[in-house]
Structure 1
Amino acid sequence: MSARTTSGRRSGARRPSTALTLAMAAMLAYALLPLLWLFMASTKDTASLLESFGLWFGDGFRLFGNIGDVLTHDDGIYLRWFANTLLYAVVGAGGAAFIATAAGYGLAKYRFRGRTSIAALILGAIAIPGTALAVPTYLLFSKAGIVDTPWAVLLPSLVSPFGVYLMRVYAAEAVPDSLLEAARIDGSGELRTFFTISLRLLGPGFVTVLLFALVATWNNYFLPLIVLSDPQWFPLTVGLNQWNAMATGAAGSGATTTNFYPLVVTGSVLAIVPLIVAFLFLQRFWQSGLAAGSVKE
């Protein structure tokens, strides 16, 4: 190998940037330190939680005892909140991903009057924060008589403007027009073509939207807080906040109940486990879904 070739390879090789490495390390610490504190706190009793150093274990290891207290407190209300959150996340995120996939596919592959206006309307809807729509949604659902029911949380969860936009961009490149024309020539109907051909090609994008919707629905707090008053229908976010209010004295009585602190932190640890599992399981689909359709040949 010539010296010129070796020199060219060396000069073309990318050298690690110290500044970028430090920035990534800082971002990693920013993301992981709260999780580390949360796990450490879940292993402590009330006294250790209030007095010991936050990023290390306290006196004894109370993790399993705290988990038992969380699952049995108030006749197992936490399990009810967990089941509610699972219902809202699975039905809401799954429905939102499917609706967004179908809508994005239709906008990308069909020519009809008003298509551009609908796409612009969807882009405008992305810019509107969900909290701004919470009160109008409550008033609308109050007129419809579905306040304080699961439908008040599920119906808004089915709407994902960003998912529709993402699937529109993805479907434009992932599903070839020639393939659709071949299916039509063979006598396949539009619905059959969508479910048997297009939906398979849209799989990575579907999983990407599903993951985004799952995280948003699982962490949804403001809307359930407004439309739900029965604790039996609370998701984990609202239920844990109720426990935290009891621990800090913000529940209305003015007195603090510090025994709720281990319940809050341990319940929070249990609440993030499903999201971690979902990320690990869907990571490969999520990455491919983000990359596909971003580069136009």
Structure 2
Amino acid sequence: MTLLMVIFLIYALTPIAWLVINSTKTQADLFSTFGLSFGGRFALWENIVATITYDDGIFLRWLGNTLLYVVLGAGGATVLATLAGYALAKYRFPGRRAYFAVVLGAVAVPGTALAVPTFLLFSQLGLTNTPWSIILPSLILPFGLYLMWVYATDSVPTEVLEAARIDGASEFRIFFAISMRLLAPGIVTVALFAIVATWNNYFLPLIMLSNPDWYPLTVGLNQWSEQASGVAAEPIFNLVVTGSLITIIPIVAIFLFLQRFWQAGLSAGSVK
């Protein structure tokens, strides 16, 4: 099993090592040296400067757009999934089972299948080629809602909620003072799923946006890649590789920051 895990680890880390190593190469060294070997000159800083200044700094614009879509889209999806999942787990109301079936059905539908109908709907509303065409669809995260529903069912003891109600606490106070703390690991998990999905979103922005000023990093870097390999190719493959490296750094930083909130047993001992 240890050998198998080592093989999987190498398989997972090799593309990242290739990306880091090739970000230090010049355009000429990219095609004249082996992929996992360093070039003749260490050009990482040079590549970073060239990436963020190329085409009047459009890369920084794409980075800002991606952060905007993540903050509003993924952040909103996390809030909605948390509120809806908690309500479905801890409250009883008519139509609850039907809603559960709808959520399960939505989880099974791939996002690419909804891209064209979403485009037609937003086209009729006049929202295509605007940030709202990316933000509004990102607010819907059926898997995140289902995950919060399942997590809240077990992590928030009903006896604790009943004790708080007996003490006179309102439902809002119970949620923000008690349930939110118990739901923290689940909220972080949903947030990470939403952030990664929005950060890596490619197909939806590709069909929704035609103005490069509103592109996220995924579509922008793909445009650079096509520009570098087209008929009138430009020598910017080093910018594509370096831009890809810069793109994954925020995701890694977010994961390292949020993983400390993954704690188990927060409600242990609360119910006797």
TM-score when normalising by structure 2: 0.94
1:267 aligns with 2:243: yes
User: Which deviations, in whole Å up to 9, do the C-alpha atoms of 1:225-245 show, x marking residues without a partner?
Assistant: 110111111000000000000
- Mapped to 2, the partners of 1:225 and 1:233 lie a distance apart of 11
Q: Structure 1: any 5+ residue segments left out of the alignment?
A: 1-19
Q: One-letter code of the match for 1:98? A: V
Change (3 A) 1:90 1:292: farther
Runs of 4+ with >3 A deviation? 286-289
CA contact (8 A) 1:170 1:292 kept: no
- Mapped to 1, the partners of 2:118 and 2:158 lie a distance apart of 39
The structure 2 residue matched to 1:83, chosen from 53, 58, 64, is 64
Q: One-letter code of the match for 2:143? A: F
What is residue 3 of structure 1 aligned with on the other side?
A: none
Identity %: 61
Q: One-letter code of the match for 1:271? A: T
What is residue 98 of structure 2 aligned with on the other side?
A: 117
How many residues matched?
268
- Mapped to 1, the partners of 2:264 and 2:65 lie a distance apart of 31
How do 1:84-233 residues align onto structure 2 when only pairs under 5 Å count?
84-233=65-214
| Aligned-residue CA RMSD (Å) | 1.7
Q: Using the TM superposition, give the Cα deviation of residue 120 of structure 1 relative to its aligned residue in structure 2, in angstroms.
A: 1.3
User: Which deviations, in whole Å up to 9, do the C-alpha atoms of 1:85-110 show, x marking residues without a partner?
Assistant: 11111221111111111111011001
- Mapped to 2, the partners of 1:43 and 1:63 lie a distance apart of 4
Q: Using the TM superposition, give the Cα deviation of residue 292 of structure 1 relative to its aligned residue in structure 2, in angstroms.
A: 9.3
Q: Using the TM superposition, give the Cα deviation of residue 197 of structure 1 relative to its aligned residue in structure 2, in angstroms.
A: 2.1
Q: Which moved more, 1:267-276 or 1:91-100?
A: 91-100
Q: One-letter code of the match for 1:203? A: A
Q: Using the TM superposition, give the Cα deviation of residue 288 of structure 1 relative to its aligned residue in structure 2, in angstroms.
A: 4.2
Q: Using the TM superposition, give the Cα deviation of residue 78 of structure 1 relative to its aligned residue in structure 2, in angstroms.
A: 0.4
The structure 2 residue matched to 1:282, chosen from 252, 258, 261, is 258
- Mapped to 2, the partners of 1:148 and 1:286 lie a distance apart of 37
- Mapped to 1, the partners of 2:43 and 2:68 lie a distance apart of 30
The structure 1 residue matched to 2:233, chosen from 239, 253, 256, is 256
CA contact (8 A) 1:211 1:286 kept: no
Q: Using the TM superposition, give the Cα deviation of residue 184 of structure 1 relative to its aligned residue in structure 2, in angstroms.
A: 2.4
CA contact (8 A) 2:85 2:147 kept: yes
CA contact (8 A) 1:148 1:227 kept: yes
- Mapped to 2, the partners of 1:78 and 1:292 lie a distance apart of 45
- Mapped to 2, the partners of 1:72 and 1:263 lie a distance apart of 10
Change (3 A) 1:288 1:30: farther
Q: Structure 2: any 5+ residue segments left out of the alignment?
A: none
- Mapped to 1, the partners of 2:227 and 2:263 lie a distance apart of 41
Q: One-letter code of the match for 2:241? A: V
CA contact (8 A) 2:184 2:262 kept: no
- Mapped to 2, the partners of 1:244 and 1:114 lie a distance apart of 49
Change (3 A) 1:91 1:126: same
- Mapped to 2, the partners of 1:99 and 1:86 lie a distance apart of 19
Q: Using the TM superposition, give the Cα deviation of residue 286 of structure 1 relative to its aligned residue in structure 2, in angstroms.
A: 3.9
What is residue 25 of structure 2 aligned with on the other side?
A: 44
